[in-house]
Structure 1
Amino acid sequence: MIINPSFVLDMLEKVRPGLQEIARKEADSLLMLKKAHNIESEKLFLWDRSFYLNQQHEADKFDTKLTMEYFELHTVVRNTLSVYETFLGIRFELVDHSRAQQLHGENALHITWHEDVLLFLVWDVKEDGESFLGWLYFDLYSREGKHTHHAAHFGLRKGFERPDGTRSYPASLLVVNQTKNVDSSPSLLTVNQVRSIFHEVGHGMHNLLSKTRFARMHGTKVDRDFVETPSLLFEHFLWKPEILRAVSCHYSHTSRDFQEHWQSAHQNEEFPSKHLSDEVIFAIVSNNESSSALLVLKQLHFALHDFTIHNPPTRDFLEKLDLCEVYNKLWVELLPLSGGEMIGKGFHWGHGGSLVRAYMCGSYDAGYYAYILGRVWALDMFESFFAGDKCMKEAGRRYREMILKPGGSQSEWKTLREYLGREPDPAAYFRWLGLNDK
């Protein structure tokens, strides 16, 4: 999608100054909390961030443990799919045992690779009837030998047109690694884990709703720097108060067993409300960490480190490159958080760069910037067509036809321009970060 490296670096440098300005303010507020703990320090270390961010959430009356009770795993999956159904004009049909027998007879027990795996048939819903689109699998619980990332999407099968004109349908798998319920206890999610599921289902929709002639160009088979854009757009729906409320449901309202489980642990307490309150929803949206300048600046750090090591000016530069030193010096240059260099460790501590699997041993080499620029394009589309009270159903169908359906069968720039009706603009991204004057 991106024509040359200079375009990427120019865009990242445009984002950098404003990000650093806001990140310094965020770091200062965390440093104040650190000082309030009677710790005499003028430095906020990178390992301080998570601890004092949790302290800040507590000060903002953001009770993570209580909030998790409104995000039981199966309820989140069901409610998330319901949101996608409304938005994209589709229907998910859970294949239970009786439906599996109807479809596969004596092979009904073998339609998935494990008894915990859920299978949904995906249907296109139109006024003149429904038509089949593909299969969506959910593998929700951790077990020995399974992929260990919290949430991930795998395109098990791409769609394509056979020589006789019929279609081979796509299949998607969403992997989550939650601990399986013990007795009647629920499997609960943090808000960030809910966001991850929303994001990965977005990848699934890109795979399932694409329609191309060749499998090589189907769905997420787009340029690496565009592949995150559709899912990042879907993420932003979760921060709409009405969507967050619709996805939430206190686990005690979802089954008799869960109700009894809650009552046994909360004797003589008032029964909780079914959905999150407006106050809590406001707190969640206000504390949306994905818009934290410190977090985005960390992504910028990864992107620039990735670009430095994968875009060397000369062979000699590459042979002399010290990966750890480059990583840590760039960290100090970008972020208002101190590291080991401030306690006598120099720039060879931590080896953090070797842990970033996405571009060190994954498929994002020289492409990690997609997580930043992908959100730039996603926010441009979201603000233009989905923010506020705009009709989601009509806008969703248009998004499906113009962004998801083409896959990689045409230039992603062409896809974006035709959908927006203009050149892509980073202004919405700057507003999202609080840089309203950019």
Structure 2
Amino acid sequence: MSISTPTTPPNWDHTPEQVIELTKEFIDRYIKLNDEIVAIESPTVDNVLIPLARHENKEDHLANQLSFYQYVSDNKELRDAAQEASRLVDSAFIEQGMRVDLYNVFQKVNESKDEIKDPETKRFLEKVVTAFKRNGLHLQEEQRNKLKELQKKLADLGLEFSKNSNEEEGFELFTKEELEGVPESVVSQFEKDEESGKYKMTFKYPDIFPVLKYAKHQETRKRAFIGDANKLKQNAPLLENLISTRFEVAKLLGYSTYSEYVLEERLAKNEKRVLDFLGDLQKKLTPLAVKELEKLKQLKDEDFQERGLEIQDEYYIWDNRFYDNLMLEKEYQVDNAKIAEYFPLESTVSKMLGFYERIFDISVVELKDDDENKKIWHSDVKQFAVYQNINHGSPKNEFIGWLYFDLHPRKGKYGHAANFGLAPGYLKEDGETRSRPVTALVCNFTKPSKDKPSLLKHDEVVTFFHELGHGMHDLLGRTKYGRFHGTNVPRDFVEAPSQSFEYWTWSVNEIKSLSSHFETGEQLDDDLIAQLVKSKNVNGALANLRQLHFAFFDMKLHTISKEEDLRKVDLVSLWNNLREEICLISNGGIDTYGYGSFGHIAGGYESGYYGYLFSKVYADDIYYSIFKKDPLNVENGMKYRDSVLSKGDSRDVLESLVELLGREPTLDAFLEELGL
């Protein structure tokens, strides 16, 4: 097999000093370009827009890479330098984005936009001009300066919120007796506190989730839940400040609410459509959730009776994961701990990559330690070269990008699961060759022990498939300009491809193919797979109401239109009361600061969390229409790639969906999946 030579991947050996130095040089080049553009007497697409596009194409990867260190480096000085680099870049972009002289040049070019023949180039110009307008270039100088300061303040607050999250090191101490029910494989990985001899449960996913799911003692779960909810209390005032500052920004720009400002460029378009969508979903889900809750409460009563405990009137928020899991075990014979034995990380990842390799006719090759192209930021990281098999099986393979996996928790590392697009793909100046993307999956799965490999619970398999879906969206992009590449699509669509890929983890044949017992190599038996698939939407209404809680909390904070209403906002009450009202589950009279961990609302998803549910409409339609009958159909996979994934945001996403589906998207599959 002939394989095209990969491009050189990024180096990962920067010092903190180099991060700052390279960032300043990056900013200087950007300002120099803008100064040159402003000096042009007769601005055109060729001498203004194309130089900007080429600059973005070549330069943006550097800013992404230097910023990325703050999420993954085990060197605190390097993490701090990366955060400072982000602050410097944000500040420079805000300054340059509010230059009236620059805006005037692009306005002149925009006057002749109808002469532009290439649709993607025309879209690029429209996006640039729109961004200037949304930066308040129509305002008087005093107002522009005020807006500039507000935008910088927002950037700094977001960075501080994120830093607090990444640096979080809280824990709860428990005795072995208090951890009764938690699998020994989990407890054995807990550090022991030298002073008390108790087990230290951190709030990292591999620690907190098993305790909430398996700990038999309600008081243990309660302490774990409350501790986790309050672990980032210091972020509470930051969010208050973010909300009030966003309110000021919206008013300065002439919008009634910040949500109106944000949604203007989203598929939803306006807050009424979002609130109607969420409200209608709540009405449909609530009756079903009430029934689910009744069954869970009954299960709790039976459990208390069996253990000789006094039955409680309430079903508490810290009860939910435990009794949800108990229901799966008792009524569906789904033993999550047992199932995890069939998904050892190494083989599961290999087989998971195999699905994507087949569907999209690609090859994913892991680099060995002696490969000169292997460049990683930590010894835990795996690096892959990805190739597109041209013409479905031609002996010649085309290199299409670099893929990184950073899968285990460590001090200072980003604590959730996410895909980071580090370098976009784009068409080079020769109009023929392409610069290839670099993308990274950052997750927090249990580390292997002396006795066992890292074992993935099924929900972690789903998470991995989801994040790898983002990675594939990135790798399969084929746009002319980097700013439209891969996942650079509207926020209320960006989750749709990944959500559509989650279905493979609930498909009978695919689950069996993925599974391999860590000791025997045996696959999951058919009965257990059938029960697992049957359990997919168990308590699904309650799970979706939880998502609605996040979405409504987000929207309520960003649809405030009057200053007096802003002053009345009590985040603690809103967060806790809204959860009880929507999720139907008691807080036990205890208010927590869970929104301090709500990273989405601090950066990127403000007035946008609804997008997880909104995009699922498209995801479900895609899977039901294209893949449900034949999940591994290569022709349909290539069609999905060519119609949607490769196009990124180079054209309207709805246009891509219509090309794929042969019609406008509908709610039918979404409602069917929810059982409505």
Match of residue 614, structure 2, among 373, 380, 387: 373
**Distance (whole Å) between structure 2 residues aligned to residue 386 and residue 351 of structure 1:** 41
Is 1:82 aligned to 2:324, yes or no?
A: no
Question: Which 4+ residue blocks in structure 1 deviate beyond 3 angstroms?
Answer: none
| Counterpart secondary structure, 1:27 | helix
Question: How far 1:289 sits from its partner (Å)?
Answer: 5.7
Q: Deviations over 1:339-390 (max 9, x none)?
A: 234xxx5xxx11333332211x231110000111111110011111111336
Match of residue 282, structure 1, among 506, 530, 537: 530
Contact kept in structure 1, 2:289 and 2:539, CA below 8 Å? no
Question: How far 1:299 sits from its partner (Å)?
Answer: 0.3
Is 1:20 aligned to 2:286, yes or no?
A: yes
Partner of 2:384: 120
User: Higher mean Cα deviation, 55-64 or 205-214?
Assistant: 55-64
Matches within 5 A, 1:194-273: 194-253=461-520
**Distance (whole Å) between structure 2 residues aligned to residue 335 and residue 148 of structure 1:** 25
Partner of 1:325: 573
Partner of 2:226: none
Question: How far 1:7 sits from its partner (Å)?
Answer: 1.2
**Distance (whole Å) between structure 2 residues aligned to residue 196 and residue 146 of structure 1:** 18
User: Higher mean Cα deviation, 81-90 or 416-425?
Assistant: 416-425
**Distance (whole Å) between structure 2 residues aligned to residue 117 and residue 368 of structure 1:** 30
Question: How far 1:326 sits from its partner (Å)?
Answer: 2.1
Summarize the Cα distance change of 1:352–1:144 in structure 2 as closer, same or farther, 3 Å threshold.
Answer: closer
Q: Deviations over 1:65-121 (max 9, x none)?
A: 2111100011111010001111111111111235x1xxx3xxx6x622233321111
Match of residue 340, structure 1, among 582, 588, 591: 588
What letter corresponds to residue 599 of structure 2 in structure 1? R
Partner of 2:593: 351
Summarize the Cα distance change of 1:362–1:286 in structure 2 as closer, same or farther, 3 Å threshold.
Answer: farther
Question: How far 1:311 sits from its partner (Å)?
Answer: 1.6
**Distance (whole Å) between structure 2 residues aligned to residue 238 and residue 227 of structure 1:** 20
What letter corresponds to residue 594 of structure 2 in structure 1? G
Partner of 2:665: 424
Contact kept in structure 2, 1:291 and 1:432, CA below 8 Å? no
| Counterpart secondary structure, 2:584 | coil
Is 1:71 aligned to 2:343, yes or no?
A: yes
What letter corresponds to residue 198 of structure 1 in structure 2? F
Summarize the Cα distance change of 1:390–1:65 in structure 2 as closer, same or farther, 3 Å threshold.
Answer: closer
Partner of 1:412: 653
Q: Deviations over 1:378-425 (max 9, x none)?
A: 001111111133662111110011110111111122222222222221
Contact kept in structure 1, 2:358 and 2:632, CA below 8 Å? no
**Distance (whole Å) between structure 1 residues aligned to residue 358 and residue 268 of structure 2:** 33
Match of residue 315, structure 1, among 541, 549, 563: 563
Q: Deviations over 1:221-253 (max 9, x none)?
A: 111111111000001111111111111111124
Q: Deviations over 1:22-69 (max 9, x none)?
A: 111111110001111234334322222112112212213212221111
Matches within 5 A, 1:125-204: 125-127=389-391, 128=394, 129-149=396-416, 151-165=417-431, 166-204=433-471
What letter corresponds to residue 241 of structure 1 in structure 2? V
For these two proteins, the number of residue pairs brought into alignment is: 400
Summarize the Cα distance change of 1:365–1:296 in structure 2 as closer, same or farther, 3 Å threshold.
Answer: same
**Distance (whole Å) between structure 2 residues aligned to residue 211 and residue 358 of structure 1:** 28
User: Higher mean Cα deviation, 174-183 or 84-93?
Assistant: 174-183
Partner of 1:295: 543
Partner of 2:375: 111
- What RMSD, in angstroms, separates the aligned Cα atoms of the two structures? 1.8
**Distance (whole Å) between structure 2 residues aligned to residue 398 and residue 357 of structure 1:** 34
Q: Deviations over 1:248-306 (max 9, x none)?
A: 1111246xxxxxxxxxxxxxxxxxxx100111111222222687111111101110110
User: Higher mean Cα deviation, 130-139 or 388-397?
Assistant: 388-397
Is 1:47 aligned to 2:344, yes or no?
A: no
Is 1:398 aligned to 2:639, yes or no?
A: yes
What letter corresponds to residue 57 of structure 1 in structure 2? L
> What's the % identity of the aligned pairs?
38
Q: Which structure has the higher relative contact order (CA within 8 Å, separation 6+)? A: 1
What letter corresponds to residue 120 of structure 1 in structure 2? F
Question: How far 1:14 sits from its partner (Å)?
Answer: 2.1
Contact kept in structure 2, 1:291 and 1:433, CA below 8 Å? no
What letter corresponds to residue 604 of structure 2 in structure 1? S
What letter corresponds to residue 65 of structure 1 in structure 2? A
**Distance (whole Å) between structure 2 residues aligned to residue 225 and residue 160 of structure 1:** 23
Normalised to the residue count of structure 1, the TM-score between the two structures is 0.87
**Distance (whole Å) between structure 2 residues aligned to residue 229 and residue 290 of structure 1:** 22
